Structure 1
Amino acid sequence: MSTKILLVRHGETDWNVIHRFQGSSDVPLNDTGREQAQKLALRLSSETFDAIYSSDLLRAAETAQIIAQQPIIYDARLREIHFGVFEGLTFTEIMEQYPHEWDLWRKRQAPPPEGEEIADVATRVQVFLEDILTQHSEQKILIVTHGGIIGMIATQLLNHPPHKIWQFRFDNTSITEFGFYPQGIVLVRLNDVCHLTQC
């Protein structure tokens, strides 16, 4: 038997639509996001999970509440990366208001002002992973979180450097699954949104 982890990104928000940095800002789902979560709930309705974890930020928590058929464990370690002064701004606004800081962040030379160091994100994600893999050996776990955190989990499980998180794409309510076997870790599916495309 293997351990399985399903990672789900939260549903759409109004800030997603206009490409506004959310980070630790507590933004709710919009109507489309709720509909996406309902479609995911239908897709997962036949699956059984030994535990469901969620970020405590509203957009993830609301997604988890729509799809869960059992109690949810909220964990602040699953919060999105804190983007400091970039939060609440679009890419264009950041480049206009913080051109130097944007350039440093884009080149991975510094976090956004008042933002979270990527190494600190890596540490909290690593500790979370170690905890759940210890507590839920040979079980099936659902985790509802954010794109940056799913990217960080993926880089750690695939032995990539932390700054590679932005080389992955995770759409709203996508499923990314990892299996843990005696012979190693397997990426089973990546950014699966079949429930949204009626495939």
Structure 2
Amino acid sequence: MNELWLVRHGQTEWSRDHRHTSVTDLPLLPEGEEVARSLRGRLDPAQFQQVLTSPRLRARHTAELAGFPDAEVDEDLVEWAYGDYEGITTAEIRETVPGWTVWTHETPGGESADQVAERLDRVVARARAVPGRTLVFAHGHSLRALAARWLGLPAREGRLLRLGTATVSVLGWERETPVVERWNA
């Protein structure tokens, strides 16, 4: 059976400061680079039949430092588009929209959960079409939504899966049922 391995990029200035980062192409912080390098010992390139990355610098650089410089860029792995909320923290958004979360509210000028699900369903299909393991390097909200879609849940249910920077998570199967095998490892 196939598996889908997920790696969230290393820490950036905005991820450290809890700012919503989608299209802004920030570099990794030195600490983010160090943690990305530490993934080399945990991810053996020979184990993966397919390796994909978001086109954003922070994801591509994480892939390179983890030992996957030839990861294939897949536009479907970009972060949830935050539109008018790009660069703003949830606390700042809640000053005008009480209770706001990307999972439960609209993002003016950004993507809806259904739009995110549509593109991430293509990633799920790509992973399921390859016998063996697919490894992806991407972003917090998009990977959480991707996990939800792997499980057959609405993208919004990614809200239940907190994901740290530079962590490894594994999605797989129990018989014919898609499951989370490891999370935030």
The offset of 1:105, in angstroms, is 5.2
Identity %: 28
Structure number having the greater helix percentage: 1
Pairwise CA RMSD: 2.1
Corresponding residue for residue 166 of structure 1: 159
The one-character-per-residue Cα deviations of 1:71-129 (angstroms, maximum 9, x if unpaired) are 21001100000011111122333334xx13x6565682x42211111100001001221
Deviation string, structure 1 residues 9-54 (Cα, Å, up to 9, x no partner): 0000111111111122211110000000011112224752112100
What is the TM-score of this pair, normalised by structure 1? 0.84
Q: In the superposition, relative to structure 1, how do residues 155 and 10 fare at CA in structure 2: closer, same or farther (>3 Å)?
A: same
> Do 2:78 and 2:139's aligned partners in 1 also have CA atoms closer than 8 Å?
yes
| Alignment correspondent of 1:196 | none
> Hey, what does 1:132 align to over in structure 2?
127
Question: Any residues of structure 2 matched to 1:2-81 within 5 Å, and which?
Answer: 2-45=1-44, 48-69=47-68, 71-81=70-80
Distance 1:130 1:35 in 2: 32
Distance in 2 between residues matched to 1:151 and 1:107, nearest whole Å: 10
Structure 1: state its 5+ residue gaps.
193-199
Distance 2:103 2:177 in 1: 33
8 Å Cα contact 1:24-1:82 kept in structure 2:
yes
Please give the alpha-carbon distance, in whole angstroms, between the structure 1 residues aligned to 2:100 and 2:9: 28
Aligned residues: 185
Moved over 4 A (4+): 102-107
**Distance in 2 of aligned mates of 1:76 and 1:122:** 14
Gaps of 5+ in 2: none
Query: C-alpha distance in 1, partners of 2:183/2:100?
Result: 29
| Secondary structure in 2 matching 1:44 | coil
- Choose which of 102, 107, 116 in structure 1 pairs with 2:111: 116
